[in-house]
Chain A
């Protein structure tokens, strides 16, 4: 293994093993983080990346193996110990306090002090404002964290990590929800930190970002260490091969289909202050992508179509039937399914088992007399788990133990089980590994091939370009462009998404 930067790593893991019950999350993994080096951690979801991060963060203690700080073995008894050692972590799922202000969120546990040990609120606010300035974020320090978009939450997380003046900065998918500009700024800040001698561990499913930001990459597969090597000289394909251990079929297996009749028709849909005058159609057998920057109002449109939020004006028609506003039950009855953006909060009941989650959308169908038939529920779950190639130990395991990609499959199973004619998927592959991503893409493509109308909301541009028959672009609550597959390019979509062109 080559050594760059200082001769001794700031922090390292040596032969770390960690199991949760019967599932072994890490098996003999080693990792060395050097000052001034950005180190990427690659691997499919479920490969053990998050467990590794939590081990470094002091959340988990290894079953065997050691954590080395400046070459000395240490035991972190909790997150506070790791923080004291200079480790700052940006978790994949934002962990904010919704009831507290953004500034309090950033400084919780280590607020600047005034006399008598009191909190120095003014200093706290000023430091927060300075951090936001550095990140180029337009958030106010006194704003409560409740109601922030995922992107803004992620930015608060980043500010929190930066405020710690960390020696080691660990970022578990910090860019998943960010727009291009925000990613650029984040990378600028990370570069500056690296130049100051900070060690960076970076996790992203966007391989481009790994190549852009990092010097070295460690790959994990199924909890085992595969390789640690310099990024230079590697290709995307090399990396993917190491991650999945096999050649990938094309990442975007789009089947050609001929669109049928209109399945979903949205006319002049408006919700005050959120989106305005949104009209489009999705035909059977077609994948329409709804592209745009985070916050353009795409998810909100989907929520309004499905009846979660009310709309102030406009009309939604599914298979020729107009939907009453504000009724998800009616939407489901009409053959509409929505796979939401935030699978942990909105897509799944985290405390319930896989089979129960899948059964939720069809309790009426699972009824035998007045009671739910466990057998029918289990059959339905097993059926879909096999169809979607879900990786699970037992169907009555909680969905919480599954990796992100597998959780997403459960959400998909839950909705596909009702046999919808229109499927709306919101960020279907956010935070999902390359392998599962391709599976989800193939699935969407097959569904469209079978005559389903698919509306896909995505911030992942290659995904939009690779999968969509037609790209609808939203900018600040309006649809600014409708681009057919042939003409959809990164430039044309971005131009419409940023409002530069009125295509």
Chain B
């Protein structure tokens, strides 16, 4: 009987090395590991069916395709961890890609162009953040609104035009398609940003406060956490990364029309949730989110290689999302039960 087992460490009077924490850790690490495992299976099966899948070009394509999604997923996970959501990122990517392209095509300097792109993204983020944190409008509604506003703005500016790759400075296109030592720049940028944000969230007091807010907003307020400032910061980051994503989108594709990343916000949210960031906030990591982005992109490529009807790609993404959420729920119940069995002995 486990009730009896539990008496030994309790009686010792010294806090035992918590088994409970280890369980929780394992569960969440298990999430990241299970994505890696799913990736391995997917790649294995696809490569067996078509050896081209693992050719240098095939891998490079997957990495390039993942990078922008991963970047957006990093920003999105910070927002989701605070129990909010940012649906405007797809529109922001489109707007920034077009405006930056317009600026560079008319002879603007590249560093300034990148800066403008990121600044536009950050500005959109600030608008979202102010509306959500200070006016206390639900994030879903606010960012749905800004999604359409930014989209409209993009169409207004574009006015049916398109940016052509030939008009862009070659250095810009190089940024999107070349690399160092065979590794393209895009995934490098995504990885660096992921590591930086991941480290910040884990190791800095202000980083932990994002989790605190998502876990219990009221408790965070009582603990003196500057809730509104942090939420604003989360949106600022998400917006700025969407801006950077827009610049990289331009660099990667060269030719862009208005609202070129339409619908991406949902892919980003899917990647984040598949990657183990709880949509209810407080749980998850940017590493998981990036792995989620990698998994979704790889599935897309694999289905193409396996000549599956593209229709199935969305269905698979959807199924994966449902699976991820179901697994989360089952795990949460398991953990809760384990914790309960432990804690029933504490009240002495």
Our verdict on whether A and B bind, yes or no, reads yes
Residue numbers of A with Cβ under 8 A of B are: 57, 59, 78-80, 83, 89, 91, 95-101, 104, 108-111, 113, 117-119, 129, 132-133, 136-144, 146-149, 151-152, 179, 181, 272-274, 276, 293-297, 300, 476-477
When the two chains form their complex, are residues B205 and A113 in contact, meaning their CB atoms are under 8 A apart? Answer: yes
Q: Is the CB of B212 within 8 A of A146?
A: no
A78 partner residues in chain B, CB cutoff 8 A: 221, 224
- Take A151-B347, A274-B344, A477-B344 as given contacts and tell me if A140 and B20 are in contact as well, using a CB distance cutoff of 8 Å: yes
Q: List 16 A-B contacts (CB under 8 A).
A: A80-B224, A89-B222, A99-B283, A100-B215, A100-B282, A109-B205, A133-B14, A138-B346, A138-B348, A141-B18, A144-B21, A146-B335, A147-B343, A152-B343, A276-B3, A296-B347
Known: A149-B347, A274-B344. A140 touches B216 (CB 8 A): no
Contact B224 A276 (CB under 8 A): no
C-alpha spacing A313/B65, complex, angstroms: 55
User: Is B192's beta carbon under 8 Å from chain A?
Assistant: no
Contact across chains for B340 and A274 when beta carbons are under 8 A apart: yes
- Closest A-B pairs by Cβ, 9 of them: A295-B347, A147-B339, A140-B18, A80-B224, A142-B21, A99-B282, A95-B219, A97-B215, A294-B347
Chain B minimum-CB-distance residue to A132: B15
Closest to A58 in B: B224
Partner of B15, one of A91, A141, A300: A141
A140 to B9 alpha-carbon distance, docked (Å): 11
Contact of B216 among A97, A111, A476 (CB under 8 A): A97
Contact string against A for B residues 3-17, beta-carbon threshold 8 Å, 1 for contact and 0 otherwise? 100000110011111
The answer to whether B226 has its CB under 8 Å from any CB of chain A is yes
Q: Which chain A residues lie closer than 8 Å to B223 at the CB level?
A: 79, 95, 108-109
Q: How far is the CB of B16 from chain A (nearest CB, A)?
A: 6
Q: A101-B21, A118-B203, A293-B348 are in contact. Are A144 and B3 (CB under 8 A)?
A: no
User: What is the bound-complex CA distance between A119 and B211, given in angstroms?
Assistant: 14
Chain A residue with minimal CB distance to B280? A99
User: Dominant SS at the A interface?
Assistant: loop
B305 close to chain A: CB less than 8 A:
no
> Do B344 and A295 have beta carbons less than 8 Å apart?
yes
Give the chain A neighbours of B336 by CB distance below 8 A. Answer: 146-147
User: Which residues of the other chain, A, contact B10 by a CB distance below 8 angstroms?
Assistant: 138
Q: Which residues of B contact A (CB under 8 A)?
A: 1-3, 9-10, 13-18, 20-22, 24, 203-205, 208-209, 211-212, 214-216, 218-226, 278, 282-283, 335-336, 339-348
Contacts of B17 in A (CB 8 A): 140, 142
In the complex, what residues of A have CB within 8 A of residue B15's CB? Answer: 129, 132-133, 137-141
Q: Once the chains are docked, how many angstroms separate the CA of A57 from the CA of B222? A: 9
A106 vs B335: C-alpha distance in the bound complex, in angstroms? 22
B200 — nearest CB in chain A belongs to which residue? Answer: A118
**Closest CB-CB distance, A186 to chain B, in whole Å?**
14
What B residues does A142 contact at CB under 8 A?
Answer: 17-18, 21-22
- The reply to whether B211 and A83 form a contact with Cβ atoms under 8 Å apart is no
Bound form: Cα–Cα A453–B193 in Å: 63
A152 engages B347 (CB within 8 Å): yes
- B23, closest chain A residue (CB): A144
CB-contact partner of A274 in B20, B219, B339, B341, under 8 A: B341
Chain A residues in 8 Å Cβ range of B211: 97, 99-100
Could you say which residues of chain B place their CB within 8 Å of the CB of A141?
Answer: 15, 18
Complex-state Cα separation, A297 to B10, whole angstroms: 17
User: Which residue in A83, A100, A140, A152 is a CB contact (below 8 Å) of B208?
Assistant: A100
Quick one: given A108-B212, A293-B348, are A136 and B21 in contact (CB under 8 Å)? no
CA distance A476 to B223 in the complex (A): 34
A478 to chain B, nearest CB (A): 9
Among B21, B205, B278, the residue within 8 A (CB) of A143 is B21
Nearest-Cβ distance from residue A155 to partner chain B, whole angstroms = 9
On whether the beta carbons of B24 and A144 are closer than 8 Å, the reply is yes
Q: Do residues A151 and B346 form an inter-chain contact, with CB atoms below 8 A?
A: yes
Apart from A143-B18, A149-B344: 8 A-B pairs, beta carbons within 8 A: A78-B221, A111-B208, A136-B13, A138-B16, A140-B16, A143-B21, A146-B336, A295-B348
**A295 close to B3 (CB less than 8 A):** no
Using Cβ atoms and an 8 Å threshold, which residues of chain B touch A140? 15-18, 20-21
* Structural contact, A59 and B222, CB atoms closer than 8 A: yes
The complex places the Cα of A108 from the Cα of B18 at a distance, in Å, of 20
Contact in complex: A98, B215 (CB < 8 Å): yes
CB contacts (< 8 Å) of B215 on chain A: these are 97-100
Instruction: Give the residue of B3, B18, B205, B343 whose beta carbon is less than 8 angstroms from that of A476.
Output: B3
Q: Which of B1, B16, B205 has the most CB of A within 10 A?
A: B205
- Tell me whether A179 and B347 are in contact in the complex, defined as CB-CB below 8 angstroms, given that A95-B222, A119-B208 are known contacts: yes
Q: Return the contact of A297 from the options B24, B209, B218, B344 (Cβ within 8 A).
A: B344
Instruction: Give the complex CA separation of A129 and B267 in angstroms.
Output: 43
Whole-angstrom distance between the Cβ of A385 and the nearest chain B Cβ: 28
Known A-B contacts A111-B208, A276-B3; the reply to A181 vs B348 at CB < 8 A is yes
A295 and B346 within 8 A (CB): yes
Assess the A98–B13 pair: CB atoms within 8 A.
no
Interchain CA distance A273-B214 in the complex, whole Å: 31
Please name all residues of chain A whose beta carbon is closer than 8 Å to the beta carbon of B282 when the two chains form the complex. 97-100
**Which residues in A have their C-beta under 8 angstroms from that of B220?**
97, 108
